[in-house]
A and B are shown apart, each in its own frame.
Chain A
Amino acid sequence: MRRETVCAYLLLLPALVLLAAFTHWPTAATLIDSLFATQHGSRPAPFVGLANYLDLIDDPVFWQALRNNVWYAIATIPTSIVLALLMALAVNEALPGRALLRMAYFLPTMLPMIAVANIWTFFYTPDYGLFDSIIALFGGGRHNWLGDASTALPAMVIVAVWKEAGFFMIFYLAALQTMPTDLREAAALEGSSRWNFLRRVTLPLLMPTTLFVLVNAVINAFRVIDHIIVMTRGGPDNATTLLLFYVYETGFRFWDTATAASATVVLLFIMALTAAFQFGVLGRRVHYR
């Protein structure tokens, strides 16, 4: 028994070491750093308590980043999940060229975000970019998609949805494939409509997948900023500054590591809160047996 415990811990050790070194220790260190001032030169940084957080509250750019990020999350998460589900349902049917269609839906996921951002920069190019060229065919004018404060954030949302929906589709597709076919046959015998079957059988059976996808979508909404860095660098006038981009800029452009640490703690706090909600509240409801 004791021997087994030791053995179990030894087997867990590699994963534990990695987790501790790259997740738990950095989290603790960030928390500690957020209570100290930024170090300048060789002088040690003084303890300042919550002063960094008060500075954060005073910074209008931080609030705008938070606001932007909330809107960004609200816009990207449901859209990409619904789109993923629709695409999965579509390519789950027997139709000609199905493999090709699946491939096409999945393609954006295989591209690195940096490449995606560069492609979309061209799509959004004013005057002769893809969108403006199409709009011009219908007599429309010019749009400075990325340079206009009112369209820049929606433009970022579209890129994120385009990139992510295909990834989530794979999970839905896998879940649909494992769904027993006799359920459908039974429903057909009962004379249930397709919509009814979808609503009463398919969707509830997909709930665990939806929870998993939702968790990923939330994380991505706060984690992926590559396209922001490539396409707008948070501009114009902070219209596309997301929380993580704010952290990156404060930490690595301004070298104000203390403020960056406290903003990171806020970000971690938000993530922890949503994770607790997802697993605690939603998680209990999804297990359909």
Chain B
Amino acid sequence: MLQRRSLLAATTAVLAAPAIARAQTVQKLTFYYPVAVGGPIAAIIDGYCKAFQQETGIVVEPVYAGDYSQTLIKALTAIKSGAGPQFSVLWASEIHSLVDQDILVALDDIGLDADAKRWLDGFYPAFMANSHAEGKTWSVPFQRSTAVFYYNRSAFADAGLDPDKFPTTWAGLATAAGKLTKRDPSGRVTRWGVKMAGDLGNAQWTFGAFANQAEQILMNQAGTEVYFNQPKTIEAMAFWRSLSADHHVTPEGVSNWPQLSPDFLEGNTAIIQFTTGGLSNFLDKAKFPFGMAGLAGKNSPHTVVGGANMYFFRSASPAERIASLRFARWVSAPERAADWSAHTGYIATSPAAYETQIMKDHIAKVPAAGVGRTFLPVATGELSVHENQRVYKILTDNIQACLNGSKTPAQAMGDAQSESDRILKPYKRT
């Protein structure tokens, strides 16, 4: 008996030896990273990778793969051809689609000890909202944001509004935007009250906030159902449409995301709905005092979270997975998350980061940097379902049809619902 046990132990030791050897031989990890802004952000990431290498000896090579959707496409294509990265920063809301692609490894399967579980509990719950599927955790919050309003304080003063009192309700927003919309004697608008993005890739994000403002969540947690034809969703669509059709405070048709920051900086638009991640750029370039405020809701402010998480791929070896997770923990430590937030404007992913000296100093210097996170308690997760991009497209087409006046809000949302139902049918298990 004793002999057999020691034999077993010896065998296990022999079998485990290659695994240990492998773990020690992880020298290099590659991850894909979307650079939406360019330049400085790449330099910051490079700095983190160097510091991580000095501490652990593991080389982490970031591959800047274009914007969010390009990174997603490149990562998936690379993995399908068998030569992918070990992990990647990708849209948080893609979780269900990525799980369906059968390429991810869950954090639980990489291995989470009690310490690691505490680490995951340390993130803002709103940022973990898009991380769970099928009873497992699949991603680590990294580059996170919420939708906020940026507003031109001079324009507020100019229109006789108090720049310190930003409206908190839809009615208040419509009234303020009306005062901010300026026309020349011929009736041409020289300054728009408010703008939000309705182009593909952004419309669903804008709309997620509107729906939450009417206190409607757009999907179930499993990502198998959408609630587009609910009365509150239609009400949200109707309000968006009314900003141009009834209040004339935003242009007819679709406003595109890339146009929002130039419009704001040019003084063409007084209020824009944008990401907290745009803060550094505005601090750099705005020639007027501006403020940041929570999105007005039907009754009170509500918003939506956005941004990207770190996902880990099954194609990596067990040792590489462990090393990747180690990097994720290292880079999301409070000090580093604070440093990241201070340099980029993204919201630090954990409350602990806001307790660090770096963050306190930064907020003392740039008060706007503290605004975004105060709305996390009233933020909802991003629209995230199976066949995510396809449902986004359906929703966006119908939002655009409504904004262009070719469908009523009820028609648009009804069509979006029935088309999405058709797409999601195979995923519904009763």
Contacts and interface: CB of A to CB of B under 8 A. Distances in A.
B186 A139 contact: yes
A42 interface: yes
Residue of B186, B190, B199, B263 with highest tally of chain A CB at under 10 A: B199
A41 B101 contact: yes
A41 B76 CA distance: 12
A276 to B, nearest CB: 33
Contact of B403 (A136, A141, A236): A236
A148 B268 contact: no
Contacts of A237: 397-398, 400-401, 404, 406
A144 B253 contact: yes
Given A146-B256, A233-B201, A235-B199, A141 B188 contact: yes
Nearest to B187: A141
Interface string B383-397: 000010110010011
Contacts of B268: 127-128
B254 A235 contact: yes
Contact of A128 (B266, B393, B396): B266
B355 interface: no
Given A144-B251, A149-B406, A235-B199, A40 B102 contact: yes
Interface in B58-108: 69, 73, 76-77, 97, 100-102
A254 B200 contact: no
Given A147-B256, A236-B400, A236-B403, A254 B188 contact: no
B423 to A, nearest CB: 9
B230 interface: no
Contacts of B238: none
Contacts of A235: 199-200, 254, 396-397, 400
B77 to A, nearest CB: 8
Nearest to A140: B188
Contacts of B200: 233-235
A144 B254 contact: yes
Contacts of A233: 199-201
A236 B188 contact: no
B98 to A, nearest CB: 10
Interface in B386-425: 387, 389-390, 393, 396-398, 400-401, 403-404, 406
Interface string A112-153: 000000000100011110000000100101101011110000
Given A139-B186, A233-B199, A126 B251 contact: yes
A128 to B, nearest CB: 6
A259 B106 CA distance: 30
A253 interface: yes
Contacts of A139: 186
A251 to B, nearest CB: 9
Contacts of B101: 40-41, 255
B169 interface: no
B189 interface: yes
A25 to B, nearest CB: 16
A252 interface: yes
- Grouping DSSP codes into helix (H, G, I), strand (E, B) and loop, the A interface class, with mixed when no group exceeds half, is loop
A220 interface: no
Please classify how large the interface on chain B is, using the bins under 10, 10 to 19, 20 to 34, 35 or more: 35 or more
Interface in B190-235: 190, 192, 198-201
Residue of A40, A146, A232, A235 with highest tally of chain B CB at under 10 A: A235
A42 B192 CA distance: 52
Given A42-B102, A148-B253, A236-B400, A253 B387 contact: no
A237 B416 CA distance: 12
B138 to A, nearest CB: 15
A149 B397 contact: no
Contacts of B259: 121, 125
B387 A147 contact: no
A232 B253 CA distance: 13
Please classify how large the interface on chain A is, using the bins under 10, 10 to 19, 20 to 34, 35 or more: 20 to 34
A142 B244 CA distance: 14
B18 interface: no
A136 B188 CA distance: 9
Nearest to B188: A141
Contact of A147 (B76, B97, B254, B406): B254
A240 to B, nearest CB: 11
A255 B268 CA distance: 39
B189 A236 contact: no
A144 B199 contact: no
A226 interface: no
Interface string A165-187: 00000000000000000000000
A153 to B, nearest CB: 13
Contacts of A254: 387, 389-390, 393
A255 B79 CA distance: 13
Interface string A203-239: 0000000000000000000000000000011111110
A265 to B, nearest CB: 21
Interface string B357-378: 0000000000000000000000
Contacts of B199: 232-233, 235-236
Contacts of B396: 235
Given A127-B268, A235-B199, A148 B252 contact: yes
A117 B404 CA distance: 23
B258 interface: yes
A238 B397 CA distance: 7
Nearest to B422: A58
13 contacts: A40-B102, A126-B251, A127-B192, A127-B263, A141-B187, A144-B255, A149-B253, A149-B401, A149-B404, A235-B400, A237-B404, A252-B73, A253-B73
Interface of B: 69, 73, 76-77, 97, 100-102, 186-190, 192, 198-201, 251-256, 258-259, 262-263, 266, 268, 387, 389-390, 393, 396-398, 400-401, 403-404, 406
Given A125-B262, A236-B198, 16 more contacts: A42-B102, A61-B397, A127-B189, A127-B190, A127-B192, A144-B252, A146-B254, A147-B198, A147-B254, A149-B400, A149-B406, A234-B200, A237-B397, A253-B393, A255-B76, A256-B390
Interface pairs A-B: 4 shortest CB-CB: A41-B102, A147-B254, A147-B253, A236-B400
